[in-house]
Copies of this chain bind each other. A is one copy, B any other.
Amino acid sequence: MPRYKVTVEYDGRHLVGWQRQANGPSVQQHIEEAIQKFCGEDIRIQGAGRTDAGVHALGQVATFDLQKEHSPFTVMNAINQHIKPAPVAILDCENVDDEFNARFSATARHYLYRIINRRAPLTVDEGLAWHVKKELDSNAMAEAAEVFVGQHDFTSFRAAACQANSPVKTLSKMEISRFEDEIQVRLSARSFLHNQVRAMVGTLSLVGHGQWTKADVQAALDAKDRQKAGPNAPPHGLYLTDVDY
């Protein structure tokens, strides 16, 4: 059976997230239904990252098998054709061998978190960034972010619903930069816990507001208790940008 790897972009604003849910349309469901319309095969696809409701992707990756052989170009165009008007697009499609799995073969996942830091409401970026009105000190946030880099027990930054076997993860990058009103947080790791990025960014926002110090972030990490960390940043600032294999 031919196996396909697709690169997927989506606007999470009107989606319940990657995984199929009872309460609305998910990315997975949209793609599976488009495949069904295209070739009649009722399959389940595997995604690299199970993004939450409201979270966007510029480079999510998924794999699936089809009974019948089609060229990757045909598969890409057919899904894009049948998935309309859902805000989901297949950017690329290729054949991979049957050892390859979008989720388990991934060696790194890269996320971007966008904050727009200004008093005025958002217009073109509404639902595409976290709007923070009070001034954030992005240098202090960047300094405190160093606490997270490396291998740690991230229990304090993990959703109660997280299904990972271990809370120990290795964050290889967390870089924070400011361009005028926009603060961008870029993160990389082999894998992340459920809500880990949003919990870390939400906690760093407390540092940006001067309420917390870098030492407070360290203490929250050391506590291994979700109650000791800051709130989750909202989902609509978050983008899964790339997955490495």
- Spell out A's residues near B (CB within 8 Å): 9-11, 56, 58, 76-77, 80, 84, 87-91, 118-124, 126, 128
Contacts and interface: CB of A to CB of B under 8 A. Distances in A.
Given A9-B120, A11-B126, 8 more contacts: A9-B124, A11-B123, A56-B123, A76-B120, A77-B119, A80-B120, A87-B124, A91-B120
A121 B11 contact: no
A84 B11 CA distance: 23
A82 to B, nearest CB: 12
A184 to B, nearest CB: 15
A123 B80 contact: no
Nearest to A91: B120
A52 to B, nearest CB: 16
Given A124-B11, A128-B124, A119 B87 contact: no
A236 to B, nearest CB: 11
A108 B89 CA distance: 38
Contacts of A80: 119-121
Contact of A121 (B58, B84, B126, B128): B84
B118 A91 contact: yes
The 3 closest A-B pairs by CB, nearest first: A89-B120, A11-B123, A87-B123
B123 A9 contact: yes
